[in-house]
């Protein structure tokens, strides 16, 4: 019985379980994961516990200060709208754009890079030339042009951010796909007559997912920061809808007279970006083949 237990404990674990174990040993990454989960829960579930929305005005509490005994715990803005509810609803918008935008950019970049790296030749050169051309445009100008082209609005902002952020994943995955295309299991798949698109989807893409997962964790804060920056400039989410970007823009204009309008969304945005960067570092170390438990 003891021998059986020893053999089970010494049995080799899968790469995913080894990576999870390495990630769990990174206390800062685990703590940041918990903090991020708490902020996400606050933004998506918190507004459900309030009787008002972030766009409802309470004219009895115009520019009310922080007062935990009042109906508006963190006060209201110049229009009598509950600041805490607006920050939570703004976080819901920013986080949704961040996670979905990173997912969409990752999928597009992964497929583009996998096809270019696997096929090679003239097609590869043409596909990567398109990436280099888009890289040559200044990021902010390109996003503004795309927002105007799509007619503005949340969908246009989302499309513009995704369109400009899939380029780096495509470049990274293409290099990995070029290496994989010369491996024995890919040659075996070709020899069996497997269609090229099936090789890409069933062999190339799955073998780049570790790389994509690590880079995707870095892409999420980049998308959130892009949305916040563009909303801060006034070309992102429009009033009366809230996002952390336009809330910070409003708070910046009034920081001399009412700092809480800037502090609450600014602190939450900073905590999310801080957490995501440490989670990305933890994932990178966890999936690094040089690391050992």
CATH at residue 31: 1.10.3720.10
Domain that holds residue 163: 17-44+83-286
Q: Per the structure, how many domains does the chain have?
A: 1
| Helix or strand (DSSP H, E) at 272 | helix 260-286
Please report whether residue 197 resides in a domain. Answer: yes
Please report whether residue 12 resides in a domain. Answer: no
Please report whether residue 1 resides in a domain. Answer: no
Which is higher by pLDDT, 12 or 55?
A: 55
Q: What is the pLDDT of residue 191?
A: 85
Please report whether residue 215 resides in a domain. Answer: yes
Listed in sequence order, the DSSP H helices in 73-166 are 83-119, 121-135, 139-149, 154-165
- Number of helices and strands in the chain (H, E): 13, 0
Among the listed ranges 26-35, 48-57, 152-161, which one has the minimum average pLDDT value?
A: 152-161
Mean pLDDT along residues 233-251: 80
pLDDT exceeds 90 at position 51: no
Residue 1 confidence class, pLDDT cut points 50, 70, 90: very low
Mean pLDDT along residues 129-135: 87
Q: Say if CB 58 and CB 82 are below 8 A apart.
A: yes
Among the listed ranges 59-73, 94-108, 201-215, 229-243, which one has the minimum average pLDDT value?
A: 229-243
| Three-state DSSP class for residue 251 | helix
Residue 290 confidence class, pLDDT cut points 50, 70, 90: low
Q: What is the pLDDT of residue 289?
A: 54
Residue 8 confidence class, pLDDT cut points 50, 70, 90: very low
Q: What is the pLDDT of residue 37?
A: 95
Please report whether residue 200 resides in a domain. Answer: yes
Please report whether residue 149 resides in a domain. Answer: yes
Please report whether residue 291 resides in a domain. Answer: no
* Cα–Cα dist 194/140, whole Å: 43
Does pTM top 0.85 for this prediction?
Answer: no
Please report whether residue 8 resides in a domain. Answer: no
């Amino acid at each position: 019985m003891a021998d059986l237990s020893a053999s089970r404990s010494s049995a080799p674990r899968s790469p995913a379980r080894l990576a999870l174990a390495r990630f769990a040993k990174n206390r800062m990454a685990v703590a940041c994961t918990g903090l991020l989960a708490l902020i996400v829960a606050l933004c998506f579930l918190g507004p459900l516990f309030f009787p008002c929305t972030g766009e409802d005005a309470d004219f009895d509490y115009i520019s009310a200060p922080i007062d935990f005994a009042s109906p508006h715990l963190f006060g209201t803005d110049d229009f009598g709208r509950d600041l805490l509810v607006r920050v939570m609803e703004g976080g819901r918008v920013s986080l949704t754009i961040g996670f979905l935008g990173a997912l969409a950019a990752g999928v597009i970049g992964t497929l583009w890079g996998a096809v270019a790296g696997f096929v090679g030749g003239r097609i590869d050169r043409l596909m990567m030339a398109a990436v280099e051309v888009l890289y040559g445009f200044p990021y902010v100008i390109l996003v503004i042009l795309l927002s105007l082209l799509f007619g503005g609005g949340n969908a246009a902002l989302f499309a513009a951010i995704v369109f400009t952020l899939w380029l780096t994943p495509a470049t990274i995955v293409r290099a990995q796909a070029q290496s994989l295309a010369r491996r024995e299991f890919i040659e075996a798949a070709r020899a069996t007559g497997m269609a090229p698109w099936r090789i890409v989807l069933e062999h190339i893409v799955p073998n780049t997912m570790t790389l994509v997962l690590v880079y995707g964790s870095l892409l999420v804060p980049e998308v959130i920061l892009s949305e916040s920056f563009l909303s801060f400039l006034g070309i992102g989410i429009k009033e009366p809808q809230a996002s952390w970007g336009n809330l910070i823009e409003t708070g910046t204009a009034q920081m001399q007279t009412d700092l809480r309008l800037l502090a609450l969304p600014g602190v939450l945005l900073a905590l999310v970006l801080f957490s995501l960067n440490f989670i990305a570092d933890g994932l990178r170390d966890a999936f690094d083949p040089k690391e050992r438990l």
